[in-house]
């Protein structure tokens, strides 16, 4: 069977990517670091009912030796580096950890690949947060980076190191500059899940209000299920390259709240409260991606609308709370 190695396999994208690759007949190996929360670490994989289909490998992106051993044992044809400290707000509280895991961790995976699996194909999960204080109204592969958080800066470092390994060692290494993408298994700390979970709790009488920060921030939101398909397509190309993956539509958090609350028959204006403590030290006001290169070269386009995604997430959160209340 075709073997694939995924770091960050227990995250949102790791779960949806694993599901996609299993459908395509891959043997999926996922790197898992030792954790005291091991009993819940595969919750997202369980939600998709694929937790028994993944072969877990002990290791850590901060431990080069474990990565080399893992790649020598697995002998993958594709490597997806999705591991990161990916919550932007936490990156301000943990800038050094974020730099190590999100930035240096990617270099460790690249170095392990160079030494142990140089013929494999590599995907680096870059981020629209690298654009930060945007230099152009619509961001493409050629838009300069201006990150506004330790997370964005760490992703930019990993992005350029991937480019350097590609050009210096002739590795098949591609960067996917993914704009915001969500799903029912998105972490509760992210604003989309905060909103859909809040709408569900208020509808069920478990809360009265939802406290948020800057609800006028604009983002280009898509669905993780669509975006992991783009990751896979990048590694099917003859030549490695960098691609922006986005919907080409930007929406405010305020509008996203309206969609979520309206889906359960509520008015967001009556329940959403602004909390100044939830604002970031340096805000990214608007992000809007241009996915034309991915459309032209990969044949990729999103299939799930923002409205469909938010409604799916609200329904999932309603079901979660109903199960807890039963």
Counting every residue written for the chain, the total comes to 326
Cα-trace Rg, the chain:
19
Catalytically annotated residue among 26, 80, 151, 165: 151
Q: Which alpha helices (H) appear in 33-149, and where do they start and end?
A: 43-47, 64-74, 88-93, 95-98, 105-116
Catalytically annotated residue among 18, 66, 86, 127: 127
Structure tokens at 178: 């993914």
The SS3 assignment for 19 reads helix
Is residue 126 annotated as a catalytic residue, yes or no?
Answer: no
Q: What is the dihedral of CA 48, 297, 120, 102, to 10 degrees?
A: -60
d(CA 260, CA 154): 32
Residues 6+ apart with CB under 8 A from 35: 41
Q: Is 277 exposed, middle or buried (0-12, 13-18, 19+ CB in 10 A)?
A: exposed
Q: Which CA distances in Å does 202 have to 148, 161, 194, 259?
A: 33, 45, 12, 15
Is residue 129 annotated as a catalytic residue, yes or no?
Answer: yes
Q: DSSP class of residue 318?
A: H
Residues 6+ apart with CB under 8 A from 75: 3, 117
Place of tokens 């398909």: 229
Q: Which CA distances in Å does 256 have to 263, 306, 313, 319?
A: 11, 8, 12, 20
Catalytically annotated residue among 78, 80, 86, 129: 129
Residues 6+ apart with CB under 8 A from 296: none
Q: Which residue, 93, 108, 163, is CA-closest to 130?
A: 163
C-beta atoms surrounding 262 within 10 Å? 16
Is residue 127 annotated as a catalytic residue, yes or no?
Answer: yes
Catalytically annotated residues? 127, 129, 151
């Amino acid at each position: 069977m075709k073997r694939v190695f995924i770091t960050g396999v227990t995250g949102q994208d790791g779960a949806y990517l694993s599901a996609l690759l299993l459908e395509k007949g891959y043997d999926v190996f996922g790197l898992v670091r030792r954790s005291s929360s091991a009993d819940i670490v595969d919750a997202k994989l369980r939600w998709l009912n694929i937790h028994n289909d993944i072969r877990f490998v002990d290791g850590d992106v901060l431990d080069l030796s474990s990565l080399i051993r893992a790649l020598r044992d697995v002998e993958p044809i594709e490597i997806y580096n999705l591991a990161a400290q990916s919550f932007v707000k936490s990156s301000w509280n943990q800038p050094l950890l974020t730099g190590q895991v999100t930035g240096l961790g990617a270099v460790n995976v690249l170095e392990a690949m160079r030494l142990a699996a140089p013929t494999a194909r590599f995907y680096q999960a870059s981020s629209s947060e690298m654009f930060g204080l945007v230099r152009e109204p619509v961001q493409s592969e050629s838009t300069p980076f201006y990150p506004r958080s330790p997370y964005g800066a760490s992703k930019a470092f990993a992005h350029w190191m991937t480019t350097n390994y590609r050009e210096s060692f002739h590795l098949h290494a591609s960067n996917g500059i993914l704009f915001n993408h969500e799903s029912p298994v998105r972490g509760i700390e992210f604003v989309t899940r905060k909103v859909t979970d809040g709408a569900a709790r208020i509808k069920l009488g478990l809360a009265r209000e939802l406290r948020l920060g800057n609800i006028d921030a604009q983002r280009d939101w898509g669905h993780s299920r669509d975006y992991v398909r783009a990751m896979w397509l990048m590694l099917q190309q003859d030549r490695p390259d960098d691609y922006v993956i986005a919907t080409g539509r930007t929406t405010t958090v305020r509008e996203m709240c309206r969609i979520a609350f309206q889906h359960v028959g509520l008015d967001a204006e009556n329940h959403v409260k602004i909390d100044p403590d939830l604002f970031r030290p340096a805000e990214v006001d608007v992000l809007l991606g241009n996915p034309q290169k991915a459309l032209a070269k990969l044949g990729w386009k999103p299939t799930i609308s923002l409205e469909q995604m938010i409604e799916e997430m609200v329904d999932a959160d309603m079901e979660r709370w109903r199960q807890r209340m039963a």
